[in-house]
């Protein structure tokens, strides 16, 4: 629809802008952290009581540059300026490998349901980015259920004909579908329409970066797929990631170790 087109154009423009800034910023961060490391080494060599406190300040500054690097990585993912390392992935395996981390991330009052589809088709994605996208969705679901609820992670094979595709607002085709559903606070329509925007957050200062869903959006797009949000205020939210079915019949590559938790979330 026309709305969808305008949204896509806006995301494209914002992506170009943020991608350029993030790229330059990343280079500056590298200069800063490189020099901080040299200072820390220099302090090491002349170690004494006065340098100990300077050492600690150096470490604090280095940790801040690490957080900055994580932020710029999210931005680059949104802007699709990241180099992809795609492989043939069985999403069920990836979800299974992430389940321990997901369990540790969600509090006890959140019931976790994992619903893998038997005979799931394969897809071609960067498994590290896929893991990151899933984690971002899980963290959002957790944040949406402060009083507990049910978090469901499901996979499915999906064939969309023209009518179904129009309904789902994605092109017709064959997809591997990842669905993350929560029974949390939900979103008003205005929130849904801005949720993918980088830096859009309704969470408090220091709580949200507004980059989680932009990363998910960029990841799906970069994988030639789509991400969509369906949400009802007070009822809950479903985020879907449609990934093109891979026709390659080779065995799926192992997903590798789970990604580190996104910083500050």
Q: What are the residues binding ligand ADP (CB under 6 A)? A: 136, 140-141, 144, 182, 184-187, 191, 195, 200-203, 208-214, 237
Q: Report the C-alpha gap between 250 and 247 in whole angstroms.
A: 9
190 CB burial (10 A radius; 0-12, 13-18, 19+): exposed
DSSP one-letter string for 71-114? HHHHHHHHTT-SPP-EEEE-HHHHHHHHHHHHHHHS-TTEEEEE
Closer to ligand ADP by Cβ: residue 208 or 225: 208
For ligand ADP, the closer CB: 176 or 185? 185
CB of 206 to ligand ADP, least distance (A): 11
* 200 DSSP assignment: -
Those residues with Cβ within 8 angstroms of residue 182's Cβ, 6 or more apart along the chain or in another chain = 140, 141, 144, 145, 149, 150, 151, 152, 236, 237
CB nearer ligand ADP, residue 120 or residue 133: 133
Within 10 Å of residue 160's Cβ, how many Cβ atoms? 18
CA dihedral 31, 82, 59, 33 (to 10 degrees): -10
Q: Strand 149-160 and strand 110-115: pairing?
A: parallel
Nearer to ligand ADP, 62 or 150 (CB): 150
- Residue 106 CB, shortest distance to ligand ADP, in Å, is 12
Neighbours of 127 (CB within 10 A): 23
Please report how close the Cβ of residue 125 comes to ligand ADP at its closest, in angstroms: 19
Beta bridge partners of 148: none
Least separation in angstroms between residue 226's CB and ligand ADP is: 17
Rounded to a whole number of angstroms, the minimum distance from the CB of residue 29 to ligand ADP is 20
Smallest gap, in angstroms, from Cβ of residue 54 to ligand ADP?
A: 34
Shortest distance, CB of residue 202 to ligand ADP, whole angstroms?
Answer: 3
Of residues 231 and 246, the one with the C-beta less far from ligand ADP: 231
Closer Cβ to ligand ADP, 90 or 182, answer by number = 182
DSSP, collapsed to helix, strand or coil, labels residue 160 as strand
In the bound state with ligand ADP, the residue whose beta carbon lies nearer, of 55 and 201, is 201
Instruction: Compute the Cα dihedral for 191, 240, 140, 20 and give only its sign.
Output: negative
Q: Which residue has the tokens 């589809």?
A: 117
């Amino acid at each position: 629809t026309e709305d969808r087109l305008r949204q896509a154009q806006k995301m494209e423009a914002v992506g170009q802008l943020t991608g350029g800034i993030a790229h330059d910023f990343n280079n500056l961060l590298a200069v800063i952290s490189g020099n901080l490391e040299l200072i820390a080494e220099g302090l090491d060599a002349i170690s004494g009581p006065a340098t100990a406190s300077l050492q600690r300040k150096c470490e604090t500054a280095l940790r801040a540059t690490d957080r900055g690097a994580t932020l710029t990585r999210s931005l680059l993912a949104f802007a699709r300026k990241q180099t992809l390392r795609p492989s043939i992935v069985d999403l069920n395996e990836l979800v299974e490998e992430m389940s321990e981390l997901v369990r540790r991330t969600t509090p006890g009052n959140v019931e976790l349901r994992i619903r893998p589809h038997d005979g799931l088709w394969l897809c071609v994605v960067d498994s590290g980015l896929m893991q990151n996208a899933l984690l971002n969705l899980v963290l959002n679901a957790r944040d949406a259920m402060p009083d507990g609820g049910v978090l469901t992670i499901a996979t499915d094979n999906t064939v969309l004909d023209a009518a179904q595709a129009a309904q789902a607002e994605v092109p017709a085709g064959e997809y591997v579908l990842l669905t993350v559903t929560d029974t949390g606070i939900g979103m008003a329509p205005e929130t849904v329409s801005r949720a993918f925007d980088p830096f859009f957050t309704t969470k408090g200062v220091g709580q949200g970066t507004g980059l989680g869903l932009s990363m998910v959006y960029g990841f799906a797009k970069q994988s030639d797929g789509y991400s969509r949000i369906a949400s009802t205020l007070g009822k809950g939210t479903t985020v879907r990631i449609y990934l093109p079915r891979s026709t390659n019949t080779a065995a799926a590559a192992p997903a590798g170790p789970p990604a580190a938790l996104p910083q500050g979330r």
